[in-house]
Every structure is written in structure tokens, then in C-alpha cells.
Structure 1
């Protein structure tokens, strides 16, 4: 069995928002936040907010307002490579139309934003997709274009002076928004579970093997998590843990609102460990373990539409989101999981 420990960070309520992005900058040991909304469908700002780690300090000096920033947006995706922050996609206003970026990406480096033109076959403009980095390339999956939902996967190769988009193998259907893509470096793979396809989705666990450009769907042993979307599933960074945990899944929406994006649904407040033993076989040895959450003061609210990323030594940093009272949250937490 495993238990969770939640450590609250000292952040300002100025960070209240949902449908935003958060990524850990390893070079600065900080969590970087971009975008989101306070009112449904109205982007809150287009500045970068930085939470210093592990102190959790956040103040005026942690708000970066460089010139030529990307337009404000909700439902975008942020990723980090060793040199740069990258952002792509999202919606820009009350109409919730996708921003027409035509495959261009935004890069933040040396305190400056640059819109970067790309070659290759660009993905459709979209929002509520997921983007991750792996070996200095970016990968974009799923999301919501002007109509419908997608199950495609694209790689953006950053090795050449002009990045190149390549379409990879589509994931198993249905198309979905509000899904996840966890990175498991030990298996050279991404993992996906859940999302929204007009209804909440659950398993099986979908595994994308990067070297062979193939997807595999596997049933995971153990008690099964409830279906959900706009949740978090992140692969843990660093050396493989001796207890077998390769990823953590937390919270998310279990029942959508009748008001759609304008309302709050019913949210989960649980945490799950995805365990893989051994790490040598791609499709065998997966299991779910429900994490024990001690009762007490330091326990975050149930939520969805929040943002998170894996930090060092098996920790996860998460911030903001929407609660069941349709309130945007501004808190931030570190999640640690240990064996009982």
C-alpha cells in the first residue's frame, strides 16, 4: 500500500485559474504557468507566472511580462526542453474558436518569445490537447478542433534550424479532449488513460512505443479508477523507483456539467499509482494501486481542469483548477507518495 502527502505552496490568489498549463523548468527549479481562465471562455492573461521550488515563493518578481508574448488563450499546452519553453494551440476568446497558428509554435528563450515557423505536415489547430517533450522533441496528441475530437499524434522534431512536424500512428479511438500523455522513459513510451468523448472515458491503458511508432492497449490489474477527464497522469522523473511506481494519476472530472464548458461537473479527489513490474516488458506487469490520503487540514479540494507536472524524486506539482462550486482555484501543492 501507498500513502500520499500533500505539501501546500505559498502562492497568491492571483493565480486563480483553470484550463491553463504548468511545466517544471529543471534549469530554474521552478513551476512555470501560462494561460487559463477566470470566467468561462475568457483568457485571463498571457504572462508567465513562476513558482520557485521547493520554497513555493511567488510574488511580483515571479511574473514575467516579455514583449511579443503569444495571444492569451485557454486549453493550450506547454512543454519544456533543456533550453526553452514551448507553447502550442488553444482557444482565444468567448467564441472558443481555435487560434489560427497553422502549425507555428511559440518559443520562450533568453527572456524573449518568438513565433517559430515549422515545416512538414502540421496538425490541425486545436485546444484541450496534450503536449509533452521526449529527447528534445515535442509530441502533440488528441484535443478539440473546430468540431469533433481527435485521436492523432504528431512529433515536432527540434533538431533542425526549422522544426519539422511529422504525423505518427493514430491512437485507439474514440477521439477525445481533456486527456493525458504520461512519459515513461524506461520503456521509451507514452501512456494514456481517460479523456472526454462526449462522455467520460476510462481504460484500458493505451501505450505508445516511440521507437516502433505503435500503440498497444492493455488491461491493468488491481482496483480500477473511475472514468474521468481533465485530470492528470504524469510519468515520474529520475531513476526508476524501487516500489515500481512509474506514474501518478490524480483528480479530474467524473461527470460533466449540463452547462458544458460554462459549468462545473462532479470531480474526483483521489490519487492512483500506476505500477510496472518488471520494467523490461511493454505490455505485461501493469497494476493500479489506490493511494491512501490521510484526513486532515492539508488536503486539496477535488478538482478538474487544473495543471501539473512531475518534479524530481517522484514528486508532482499541481496548481489551480475548477471545483464543484464552479470556483476557480489558486492554490498549489506538491504531492509525494511513499510505501506504507
Structure 2
């Protein structure tokens, strides 16, 4: 009789060599996994501390600078009111009125006072513009527009960019934890309170796309799946899971690094860096900023007094168009530096 062969459909038994290779691979992936979790935790803490420092510094600046800023605001309003009253109550020739309006406009363009929306002031005729270009370097001569909003705010926000596959993995981990820790799953009031607190952390991590935190919670409560170290399928599945998680963790770590860079590159972040450098030299950076504001306030006060004198006809039109002594006593370049530094510092005052 011819010899017959039969085929078996049973699973192929894993060889010791295959299991050994999987063990080595799993160990390497797990080592990388733990390292990524630690890096993310450190970087997350670094970002949190830096943002808190930004907020505390901005709050301190606001509190200490508020009196000076209020005085600057009052001076600004006074100068605007004086010019409005001068132009409304005094009678001038056509050219003289143009020159006075030019003075008013140049103060706004130079950033010494805030800009006022006035079509007549903002849109001078072309003849006047060409005349201004030919004028000598006196008080009524124009300059480049440097105005920036006093006390302007710039918010800082950055969301992690998560692709669909990563989002799915994070959601799977979230659902697994939610299934275990949802308060409605238990009846004991004490356990419900405990689960409620854990679910707050789980929800926060899920909303922020923070897989690392979800895995930390999972590990903290020893919820990892059972792996048979002698089963090739279990080991292969675990390796694949770790590879996917590690890739997401790498992306999360890069996102955290990018967010920290973005925070440091904001005006508020630059203030933190400058404050730290100044502190190492024993310098209070906020005191320096306040001194700059006080210096600018002195200049603006003298300009206010100068306009007030013109309103009260204590000085002639010629003297007024010649400009106040405070501007003539300062080198033009020095004046620009003071204004730019002062406005730059004011723009960094942010309330979180």
C-alpha cells in the first residue's frame, strides 16, 4: 500500500532561540519605554515651572508698575485733552493750524502719546506730507511710526499635534482606565470618591493627549495585562504594543520640548530669562524697568507742561513749534532708545 501523509493543524511550538530574541527585544523596548516616561515627566515639570514663573513675574510687574502706568495714562489723556481744547477754542491761520496738528500727530507717531483715531489728523493732504518731508529737524518734524499698545497682552498656548492613529491609541488606554475607575462601577461611597479623583486625572490626561500620564496611572495601579513569557504570541503582541506606545511617547516628548521653546520665545518668556540673568548679577530687572518708565514719565510730564503753557498762551506759536527744551536737551538717538525700551517693557506686562 502506498504510504499516506497527514498534515496537522496545530500551532508550531516556539523554539528557545525565538523566545530568547523576543525577550531581548521586549527588554530593550521596555527600557526605552521607561526612559521616555521619565523624560516626559521631567520636561512636563520643567514646562509647568517655567509657565508658573512667567505668570508670577508678570503679576509682580503688573502690581509694581500699575501706579506708574496709571500716571502715564493720566498724562496721556491730559495731553490729548489739551490739544483738543487748543484746536477747538483758539483761532489760527490755516498754515498755523496745520503745523499744530502736525505736532499733535508726530507725538502720536513717535509713541510719546497714544494714537487717536481722527480722520482729519490721520489723513493729511499730500501737500502737507511733502512739506513735512522738507522740514528741519525740529519738534514738528515726523519720525517713523513706533507706537505699540501700552500694556499690550500676548497670550501663550500650544496644543499637541496628535494624528488619528495616536489619538486612537490614547483613546483605547483612556477607555480601559475609565472602564475600571468610573465611579458608577462601584457602590461603596468611599470607593466612589477615590475613583472620582482618579477619573479627574484620567480625563485631564486624555483631554491633553497625555499618553505618558495615562500609562503612569495604569502602572501606579498595576493594571498592565498579563504576559506569558513563554508564549511567543504574547511576547510579540507586547512588543508591538510597546513599539506603538513608544512612538507616541516620542512625539509627546517632542511636543513638550517645542512648547517649552515657544514659551521661552514669547516676550514673557524672554522676561523670565532676562530676570534670571539680572538676578545672577544682583540686579532687580523690575526696578530697572520702573526706572525706565519714570524716565519716560519725566519727559512726558514736561511735554504736557509745554502744551499746557501754549494753551494758556504763556509761550508763542513760534516757541511752541520749536519744541520743548527737554527734547532739545536730549540727543535724538538717545531719545529713540529711551522710547523704544520703555514701550518694549510696557508691552511685556501680561496678566494670565
Asked which structure has the greater CA Rg, the reply is 2
Task: Answer yes or no: same fold by TM over 0.5.
Answer: no
Which one has the bigger helix percentage? 2
What TM-score comes out, normalization by structure 2 length?
A: 0.18
**TM-score for the superposition, normalised by structure 1:** 0.18
| Structure in which a larger fraction of residues adopt strand | 1
